[in-house]
Amino acid sequence: MHIAITGNIGAGKTTLAEKLADHYGWEVYYEAVDGNPYLAPFYSDMPKWSFHLQIFFLNSRFEQVLKIINQQEKTIIQDRTIYEDAYIFAQNLYENGQMNETDYTTYRGLFNTIMKAISPPDLMIYLKADIDKLTSQIKKRNRDFEQNIDPNYLISLNKLYEGFTKQYQHGKLIEIDVNNLDFVAKADDFKSIVDKIDRTINLGTQLKI
Ligand SMILES: Nc1ncnc2c1ncn2[C@@H]1O[C@H](COP(=O)(O)OP(=O)(O)OP(=O)(O)O)[C@@H](O)[C@H]1O
């Protein structure tokens, strides 16, 4: 089975993916951050590196989905989806003039071809968070290249996330408002998420206790 966590930068996807993997005995597929040669340069100069970074992420996410398709016996939880690369990040760069028309058209052509070869996740878990929450979590994890993220970048991404999740029709989607949740420190908050997932995919019998 393919589960995916979706949400803006700093929403808490990686942490939740790890907690859910531990709880259910799932395997996590992480985003390509360490060893990504374009991410730090991208944050310093988006117009220059946007196309390179999008191609890098698209390839890495495509590779993950192919692996997931070929390992049907396992349940894999993926930290961010290929849809977000195209419909949120690349689209935002194009709309804000940080990716030119030619590069965007090439990128979307490749994305559309990839779409023909893959299937959507069985369940998508959307972590919805306000800008204050995102900013405080980005500060807390203290990655050098993320410290100067413009709040307007997060605002534009959040708007696209709202539109994308409202229109999403490829499969099941759970929305979790994480603004007032602390699923790390509060067991009840984590349990409320697990209960939602169990109800949605009816996994009760597969729980690792
Ligand atoms: N397609 C993309 N275009 C631009 N930046 C991207 C893209 N995909 C991922 N990123 C960036 O790569 C980094 C990934 O970091 P990480 O895997 O920790 O996830 P995150 O988005 O910060 O989420 P979380 O805190 O919810 O785990 C972030 O700075 C993220 O915005």
Question: Using CA positions, which residue lies closest to atom 4 of ligand 1?
Answer: 89
Domain of residue 135, CATH code: 3.40.50.300
* Tens-place pLDDT, residues 99-141: 999 999 999 999 999 999 999 999 999 999 999 999 999 999 8
* Tens-place pLDDT, residues 191-205: 999 999 999 987 544
Predicted structure pTM score: 0.92
pLDDT at 207 over 70: no
Kindly state if the Cβ of 88 falls inside 6 Å of ligand 1: no
- Whether 209 is covered by a domain: the verdict is no
- Whether 91 is covered by a domain: the verdict is yes
Counting the structural domains of the chain, the total is 1
Highest mean pLDDT among 33-42, 127-136, 143-152: 127-136
Buried b (16+ CB within 10 A) or exposed e, 96-116: eebbeeebbeebeebbeebee
Domain that holds residue 21: 6-200
* Tens-place pLDDT, residues 169-179: 988 999 999 99
The reply to whether 177 belongs to the active site is no
Q: Which of 49, 80, 140 to mutate to test the pocket of ligand 1 (most atoms within 8 A of CB)?
A: 80
Average pLDDT of 32-54?
94
Question: What size, in residues, is the chain?
Answer: 209
**Whole-number Å distance between alpha carbons of 161 and 151:** 15
Instruction: Return all residues near 122 (Cβ < 8 A) that are at least 6 apart.
Output: 1, 2, 3, 171, 172, 201
- Whether 208 is covered by a domain: the verdict is no
How much is the ipTM here? Answer: 0.88
